């Protein structure tokens, strides 16, 4: 599972799934760049835990437009000279219920900007960089992993904005795989279900809500962040050398797609 000599960009890397992914990629030997928006202390602590800025670099870069994504890739390449893995993990999930008849245009645009427009910007710049790089015959030229959600597969009532963006990432994965695999650039998607993170603690700590949500998961619990990060890492290793365009479901059996 070695990624020695490789450089990975992990968006939304300061907390939750992103931070767990940063840890695993560093353990695999990759140099890692991740962005953060407001979690300064968590970002600084994570860099220190992962060997300091010569091995792991945190960049303050909000992501809401294609240009934001472009800037983040440019900063990653400027820091470490190349880019081999792009993990699109960032995103927002407005926690309040918003019926479609009442959802504001501002909420819709904000969710689309963060969850989709900036993803496009990162991928556009990452692919352009990967195409310029030489690779060994046995190595992929690059890996892209998008983080979707079960909401992108079965929808989510009162969160149509979020579900729409996550469904779009699934279609984007398939499109990019068909387009890029001939260039040696792999594109796959990890689709988690409920995960125990800072973002979900309020929902999962409510007894009534938690009971309802967990009843939909055959395994009977939410995922740990490492259980999402590990499949992301796997998809960037030679062990996944014949996998492209796959929607990797990591949801405790909640959504079965064949």
How many Cβ atoms are within 10 Å of 121's Cβ, its own excluded? 20
Q: What is the CATH number of the domain that holds 103?
A: 3.40.50.720
List of residues 6+ apart from 52 with CB closer than 8 A: none
- This prediction's pTM: 0.93
Does residue 154 register a pLDDT over 60?
Answer: yes
Q: Which of 162, 186, 194, 248 is catalytic?
A: 162
pLDDT at 256: 78
Provide mean pLDDT across the span 196-215: 81
Cα 119 from chain centre: 9
Which domain range does residue 92 map to?
Answer: 7-250
Q: Is 36 a catalytic residue?
A: no
Task: Assess if residue 1 is contained within a domain.
Answer: no
The answer to whether 127 and 142 are in contact (CB under 8 A) is yes
> Is residue 231 one of the residues assigned to a domain?
yes
What is the per-residue pLDDT for 136?
73
Domain count within the chain: 1
Structural domain includes residue 214: yes
Give the pair of three-digit tokens for residue 178: 């068909």
Query: What pLDDT does 257 receive?
Result: 65
In a domain, 24, yes or no: yes
Q: What is the pLDDT of residues 54-87, one digit of tens each?
A: 999 999 999 999 999 999 999 999 999 999 999 9
- Residues 163-177 have pLDDT tens digits of 999 999 999 999 999
Pairing of strands 31-36, 85-88: unpaired
In the block, residue with structure tokens 């300061």: 14
């Amino acid at each position: 599972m070695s990624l020695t000599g490789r450089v990975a960009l992990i968006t939304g890397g300061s907390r939750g799934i992103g931070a767990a992914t940063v840890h695993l990629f560093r353990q695999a030997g990759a140099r890692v760049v991740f962005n953060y928006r407001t979690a300064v202390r968590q970002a600084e602590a994570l860099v220190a835990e992962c060997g300091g800025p010569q091995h792991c670099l945190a960049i303050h870069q909000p992501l809401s437009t294609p240009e934001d994504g472009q800037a983040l890739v440019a900063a990653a390449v400027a820091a470490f000279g190349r880019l081999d893995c792009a993990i699109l993990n960032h995103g927002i999930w407005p926690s309040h219920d918003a019926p479609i008849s009442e959802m504001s245009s501002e909420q819709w645009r904000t969710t689309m900007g963060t969850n989709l427009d900036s993803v496009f910007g990162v991928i556009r710049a990452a692919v352009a960089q990967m195409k310029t790089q030489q690779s060994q015959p046995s190595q992929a030229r690059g890996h892209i992993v998008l983080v979707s959600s079960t909401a992108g597969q079965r929808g989510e009532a009162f969160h149509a904005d979020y579900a729409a963006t996550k469904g779009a990432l699934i279609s984007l994965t398939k499109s990019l795989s068909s387009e890029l695999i001939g260039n040696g650039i792999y594109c796959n998607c990890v689709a988690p279900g409920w995960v125990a993170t800072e973002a979900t603690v309020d929902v999962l700590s409510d007894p009534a809500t938690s009971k309802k949500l967990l009843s939909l998961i055959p395994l009977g619990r939410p995922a740990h962040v490492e259980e999402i990060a590990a499949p992301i890492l796997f998809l960037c290793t030679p062990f996944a050398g014949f996998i492209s365009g796959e929607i990797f479901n990591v949801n405790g059996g909640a959504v079965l797609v064949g």
